[in-house]
Amino acid sequence: MNGHFAAVGKQPTATQYEHGIQVIDEDKAFNTSLNDYLIETQVAQAGFNYHLISVFGSQSTGKSTLLNHLFGTQFSVMSETERRQTTKGIWLSKNKKEGTNSSSVKMAENILVMDVEGTDGRERGEDQDFERKSALFALATSEVLIVNVWEHQVGLYQGANMGLLKTVFEVNLQLFLKDRQSQTRSLLFFVIRDHVGNTPLENLRNTLIQDLTKIWSSISKPQGLDNSKIEDYFDFAFAALPHKILQPEKFVSEVEKLGSRFTAGHRSTQGQEYEGGIFLPEYHRRIPADGLSVYAEGVWDQIVNNKDLDLPTQQELLAQFRCDEISREVLVGFDTVIAPLEEQHADATRSGKLIVLPDLGGTGSSAREKCVKAFETQASRYHKGVYTMKRGELESKIDTRLKALYQAQLVAAHKTGVAAFSDAVTNAVKSGQKAGGSYEFAEIVDKQKTKYLESFKKEAQGLFIPDVPWSNFKPQYRLFEKELDEVSAKLRKEEMRRLAIRVERWVKSRLGDTIGLEFNKLGSGRGGTGAPENGEKPPSEKDLWDRVWNSFISIVKDAESRFTDRAKSFEASAEEVEVGLWRLRRKSWVALREQIDDEVMESNILMKLRENFEDKFRYDEEGVPRIWRPTDDIEGIYTKARESTLSLVPLLSRFRLSATLAPPDLPAFIGHQPPSAEPEDEEDLLPIGGIDEEEGKSLEEETTILSESKRQDLVVRFKKMADGVYVEAKRSAIGGITQ
Ligand code: GDP
Ligand code: MG
């Protein structure tokens, strides 16, 4: 079908179409340039606003002459001297008198006239075949058939014209067999030539109608149409023209009058006659002008090949062909707009640098609307069923591409949005930290989330096309929101880590001060240099671990509430807080252990023991320094002081509370690992004896501050040192006497 319809276009030129266009040549070939001609004469874009007329009649009855006068056409006319056939096949020309008519009534727009070869075949002999075929062709396409007859032929029932009319009626019935539901009628417009005037037109008209009725009754009708009447299919109109050569002026003026009847008209209420011009809407074949050429070609093809002419099928085929053609045409415009955008997204995907095209929704829907509208304008004139289907196909073609494009756009908007959100939150936190750490994480997250959600929403809504369900991108929006929440959770976790680090540092520094102080107190054998001013009992060395533990507990409590307050402020969940506190307690304990280890480092602890010892040895009960005299019991005091200090070593060696004489209840203090803790929460945690069973270290070991060997070593070194002090004291006592 495509090949058949394919237009073989010659380049049209103005002079080429001077005489119109030969639609069917003498070899019965169809001229595919017809569409070019329609384009050239600007009929092609007229939709249904055109009219097609054919003229019938015997050879050399002045048909071409009539048309040329009536429509300003330039169909070939037999010269007065030669007398042989001039019109070959079927010619078509556009009315050239359109708009130039001097009479008050303007002719209808876009009248196309077909000059059909004279059909009583003086030159074609008995070739009734062509006559039949051209009649069928004219009937299938034309609204009005002008039948040209000499006045003196009227009433001659056997006249050549009557044979022709019989043919017209027969082929008409043939058409109606296939196209019964069609309301199409045709107008037979009898133009009586060389009307002398003796017989009034009214009488001629009656005679003609009688003849037509006779012919109608004589033709054999197909089954089901036996009782049909001629009026069921045809309307009739009549006109008479004076002799062109004898009354040339009158001829011209009458032709002009006749021309004024070629305007739109409507049936009068009486039903028989019509008002206005001769073109009634029901005559129109409803073939859009831009499909006329293809349709005519299809029709002619069937006629020439003696196939049953099936106009409804022809119209469907035409609709398919034209709708496809129009679809391709309108897609070109769509492509021009959309292809570069698709290219940009494809490039972006390839290079991994995603882009969000500005106003893609606006561009997309306007391209879509333009395309569909353009299709609708042209294609909706064709067969409704076919048009609806093809429109659906076009929309789905457009939508497949738009959908892919929009999805790429939203993927880009999603990914860039998530990244930008994450950066924005991180940067706001950073600048908050720089500005002294006073920032509200939750507020930052809320603000940025609102901002980025809003911009994604705007993008997604911008892509929405009313009544097009796939363009509702709510699910994508929800997905985006979900991912922002996930990113927020991740960032909040990081923020929790930062908070934890800050709090841990604070714990460490507090422990450094407090625990250092407790251990420094060891340095004074009597609770420092003298009794405390408030008169309280000086702290006993025996309470060291109670005080350490209590200070520790209170520092951690403090830290816990700091942590909790802050974490709550950025909307951390109860689980997250629980994990954070659990980590904090563990880390705090480890920090305490480190702090204690630091305090009992050999050099540190030895110094403290020495101070403790010297305090006891060199000062009396009142805290007054002793001046050794030879009479003093230096040895006794020395032994007492040494033993007293040495008794500290086992005390220092193990972290024991005085109330229970047992290690502090670390497991109860730290608590169970919260179920919501994740592996990464445990990553930087050091094992704690008695807590982390699988490490094989007991609570006993965890709370052992000095190992047995270290203890012995410490005792030995301390004794040496004490001995030194003793010897020095001895010497100074003796020295004091000799002095
Ligand atoms: P066609 O074959 O029917 O197209 O006839 P043409 O238009 O070629 O004219 C055939 C001949 O009839 C020409 O020589 C014309 O001059 C002549 N002719 C044209 N119009 C009239 C007319 O109204 N009356 C008469 N008697 N001759 C006419
Ligand atoms: Mg002619």
Q: Over the stretch 247-298, which tens digit does the pLDDT of each residue have?
A: 999 999 999 999 999 999 988 776 556 778 999 999 999 999 999 999 999 9
Give residue 7's pLDDT band: very low, low, confident or very high (50, 70, 90): very low
Range 187-194 average pLDDT: 94
Nearest to 254 by CA among 144, 103, 109: 103
Pairing of strands 21-24, 90-94: antiparallel
**Is the model more confident about 566 or about 693?**
566
Say yes or no: CB of residue 73 within 6 Å of ligand 1: no
Predicted local confidence at residue 180, as pLDDT: 65
Contact 427, 448 (CB under 8 A): no
- At 122-142, the pLDDT tens digits run 444 556 788 888 888 998 899
- Closest ligand 1 atom to residue 77 Cα is 8
Say yes or no: CB of residue 86 within 6 Å of ligand 1: yes
- At 212-246, the pLDDT tens digits run 998 899 888 888 788 888 888 899 999 999 999 99
Say yes or no: CB of residue 119 within 6 Å of ligand 1: no
Range 360-367 average pLDDT: 95
> CA angle, 132 as apex, 6 and 128 as ends, to 5°?
120
CA of 76 to the centre of ligand 2 (A): 6
Pairing of strands 234-240, 186-193: parallel
**CB within 8 A of 474, min separation 6: which ones?**
460
Rounded-to-5 percentages of helix, strand, coil across the chain: 60, 10, 35
- Strands (DSSP E) found in 43-89: 51-57
- At 523-574, the pLDDT tens digits run 776 544 444 445 445 557 788 999 999 999 999 999 999 999 988 888 888 9
Q: What is the CA radius of gyration of the chain?
A: 57
Nearest to 507 by CA among 571, 581, 435, 578: 581
Mutating to test ligand 1, I would choose from 68, 71, 75, 77 the residue with most ligand atoms within 8 A of its C-beta, which is 77
Predicted local confidence at residue 119, as pLDDT: 53
Predicted local confidence at residue 147, as pLDDT: 92
Predicted local confidence at residue 10, as pLDDT: 47
Mean pLDDT (the chain) is 87
Contact 16, 80 (CB under 8 A): no
Q: In this prediction, what percent of the chain has a pLDDT beyond 70?
A: 90
SS3 label, residue 194: coil
Say yes or no: CB of residue 60 within 6 Å of ligand 1: yes
Q: Which of 24-28, 81-85, 318-322 has the highest mean pLDDT?
A: 318-322
Predicted local confidence at residue 80, as pLDDT: 65
Give residue 723's pLDDT band: very low, low, confident or very high (50, 70, 90): very high
Distance CA 245, CA 303 (A): 39
Say yes or no: CB of residue 553 within 6 Å of ligand 1: no
Around 172, how many Cα atoms within 13 Å sit in the side-chain half-sphere?
25
Closest ligand to 61 CA?
Answer: 1
Range 83-106 average pLDDT: 76
- At 297-333, the pLDDT tens digits run 999 999 888 887 788 888 999 999 999 999 999 999 9
Give residue 2's pLDDT band: very low, low, confident or very high (50, 70, 90): very low
Range 87-110 average pLDDT: 81
Q: Go through 351-368 and write b for each residue having 16 or more CB atoms within 10 A of its CB, e for each that does not.
A: eeebbbbeebbebbbebb
Residue 9 has pLDDT above 50, yes or no: no
ipTM: 0.99
Give residue 205's pLDDT band: very low, low, confident or very high (50, 70, 90): very high
Structure tokens at 531: 């009794």
Q: In this prediction, what percent of the chain has a pLDDT beyond 90?
A: 58
Give residue 112's pLDDT band: very low, low, confident or very high (50, 70, 90): very high
Say yes or no: CB of residue 244 within 6 Å of ligand 1: yes
- What are the strands of the beta sheet with 111-116, ordered from one edge? 21-24, 90-94, 111-116, 51-57, 144-150, 186-193, 234-240
Predicted local confidence at residue 527, as pLDDT: 44
Contact 7, 32 (CB under 8 A): yes
- Closest ligand 1 atom to residue 115 Cα is 4
